[in-house]
Structure 1
Amino acid sequence: MQLLVFILAYPFLWLISVLPFRLLYLISDIVYILLYRIIGYRKKTVRNNLKLALPHLSDEERLDIEKKFYRHLADVFLEMIKTLSISQEEMEKRFVYTNVEEILKLEKSKSVVLLFPHYANWEWTSSLDPQVASKGYAIYKRIRNPYFDRLVKRIRQKFGTTLIETKETIRVIRQNQRDHITCIYGFLSDQSPLMSKAIYWQEFMGVKVPVHVGSEILAKRTGLAVIYLRVEKVRRGYYQATFLTLAENPETYPDYQVTDMFLREVEKQIKEAPQYYFWTHKRWKHMGKAPDKL
């Protein structure tokens, strides 16, 4: 059944990927209507999240953000598919890194943990690899359907980035260090961890939630610098990304301070343009469950 679903879906996805952007966004407008107005995909979750994170806004203001978010969500979905056929030249025109020299400077002496949230277009961050000397790795979660899993890996690895699962990360880092290979390890770090792994709680958009700290712990243990990648949507189909060094030597910082710095940067972007955050995630599902003593 999984193979059949893939065989039926792939020709359609490939056809979408070769369309010019003008037609791609016409389809995105249709997907928006389907997701938002007909299916109502996770609409309850989105509304609850917006109310929790942006309580100071009126119902009308949050509704406006909600609609803009679903339009953006449709764009990101179609842009990910477009990656199947997009050229490197076109990608570099549409996803611009404003200060690659920040990475080039650091990679002369050490590898980097690159942190970013589900904001703007996180999928196109895989385009970094051709612009730096370091080898790029992205930590990802395997998709249950093995055929779609291979397709997603093909899309995300198109420009040279290698996808690895969380359980492989420390082994890969240690091996690259032994081989003296400088690397960039990308982490999407804004989701909610499992309660069984919630060792640190912090306020995020005014609500106390469990926070992923694995990337900070890993960076301290292996001596990697920590950088935040701030991705902004310039206009439809165009983004810019800026590197912000959080900690060149994270081992010198108190526990969880680097994680807090990451959270503050994410909050800053959400407050500036909330419609580009991924509100369908149940980011605040564990609110109110923090133990009395942490």
Structure 2
Amino acid sequence: MQGLVFWLVYPILWLVSILPFRLFYMFSDAVFFLVYHIIGYRRKTVRQNLELVFPEKSEKEIKRIQKEFYSHMCDMFLEMIKSISISEKEIEKRFTFTNVEYLRKLESLDKSLVIMLGHYASYEWINALQLYGLKYRTYGVYKPIKNKRFDALVKKIRGRFGGTLISTRETTEVIRYNQENGILGNYAMIADQSPKLSRAKHWLHFMGIRVPVFEGSDRLARKLDMAVVYLHVEKVGRGYYEATLKPITENAPAEPEHAITKKFIEYLEEQIYKKPEYYLWTHKRWKHRNEPIPKNAEIID
């Protein structure tokens, strides 16, 4: 059944991916109209999240952010599909890195690098990083899709330009193996996920609301002596992004416990407050806000 679904859907995805960009974004506008006005995909969740985080904003302003967010979300989702056929030249033009020389400097430290990022602007074209002639391989940490054929497609798409995808479950094992065998790498990790309540060991304020956070990136970096940066991505035009690597630490073991996580949250909040329409508001990031904090948990802010 999974194979049948894949072969019915894949030809459509491929046709969408080869559309000229002008037609491609016209198609995205049509998808936006369907998702936002007809289906109303998670509109209640988005509205609740925005009102929760921005209680000072007027109803008119909330509606504007909500509408612009859905338009951006449709663009970003379709840009992942565009990755099926996009050329190296095109992706280099559309997803640029402003300070790759800083990354090369970090590589000269002879230690692996954690690249922390949130669900902001675009994280689909980060694989363009590997096109800059880096010394180390770039690994992207992701959550596998249940349909194995679509999962294989996602891995193929995101690995087209030399990067490698590793699942969340195998991340620690892969990094430790590489470290023990002298294989250094750049590990891109989306770090603003919401953990299950049973795993909610650390809580802090995110956008003014106390929520549980994952500390995997923080712990790995300090334990394995990895440098850490924040990937600051800005949407500078439709289909165009600029990414800047902002330093968090070059000496993680010397950092106080939780300091890396707190700095990541600080950087991400700064972007969201400035341009909230580019954050992934369909994500139920604040779903545990009213839950009692477990007795064995730690408040870190």
* TM tier, smaller: over 0.9
* CA drift at 1:181: 2.2
Q: Distance in 2 between matches of 1:115 and 1:3?
A: 34
Decide whether aligned partners of structure 1 residues 290 and 225 sit closer, same or farther in structure 2, where only a CA change above 3 A counts.
farther
Which 10-residue stretch deviates more, 273-282 or 162-171?
162-171
Distance 1:264 1:167 in 2: 27
Match of 1:78 in 2: 78
TM-superposition CA deviations, 1:85-130 (whole Å, max 9, x none): 1111110100010000111001112110000001111111111112
Q: What's the CA shift string for 1:55-101, capped at 9, x where partnerless?
A: 11111101000000000011001111001111111101000100001
Show structure 2 runs of 5+ residues with no match.
none
- The percent of aligned pairs where both chains have the same amino acid is 52
Deviation digits for residues 21-53 of structure 1 (CA, Å, limit 9, x no counterpart):
100000000000010000000000000110111
CA distance in 2, matches of 1:85, 1:60: 39
2:219 aligned residue (201, 217, 220): 217
Whichever residue aligns with residue 32 of structure 2, its letter is: Y
Quote the residue 1:283 is aligned against. 285
With normalisation by structure 1, the TM-score equals 0.98
State how far apart, in whole Å, the 2-side matches of 1:247 and 1:265 are.
Answer: 13
SS in structure 2 at match of 1:167: coil
Q: 2:176 aligns with which of 174, 177, 199?
A: 174
Q: Secondary structure at the match of 2:125?
A: helix
Give, in whole Å, the separation in 2 of the partners of 1:172 and 1:244: 25
Paired with 1:236 and 1:116, the residues of 2 have a C-alpha distance of 20
- Residues of 2 paired with 1:290 and 1:262: CA distance? 25
1:152 aligns with 2:154: yes
Distance 1:290 1:191 in 2: 19
1:220-235 correspondence to structure 2 within 5 Å = 220-235=222-237
Quote the Cα distance in structure 2 between the aligned partners of 1:128 and 1:159: 9
The answer on whether the counterparts of 1:201 and 1:290 sit within 8 Å (CA) in structure 2 is: no
Aligned to 2:195: 193
- C-alpha RMSD of matched pairs (Å): 1.1
TM-fit CA distance, 1:291? 2.1
**Which structure 2 residues correspond to residues 236-275 of structure 1 after superposition, within 5 A?**
236-275=238-277
Local SS of the residue matching 2:169: helix
Question: How many residue pairs get matched?
Answer: 294
> If the length of structure 2 is used for normalisation, what is the TM-score?
0.95
Q: Which whole-Å CA distance do the structure 2 matches of 1:106 and 1:262 have between them?
A: 18
Pairing 1:115–2:116 present: yes
Q: How many angstroms apart in 1 are the aligned matches of 2:163 and 2:55?
A: 39
**Superposition pairs of residues 3-42 of structure 1, within 5 angstroms:** 3-42=3-42
* Paired AA for residue 270 in structure 2: K
Contact 1:209 1:290 in 2 (8 A): no
Alpha-carbon deviation of 1:174? 2.0
Structure 1: runs of 5+ lacking an equivalent: none
Please, which moves more after superposition, 248-257 or 228-237? 248-257
Write out the 4+ residue segments of structure 1 that deviate beyond 4 Å after TM superposition: none
Q: Which of 199, 206, 209 is the matching residue for 1:207?
A: 209
Distance (Å, rounded) in 1 between the aligned partners of 2:285 and 2:66 = 16
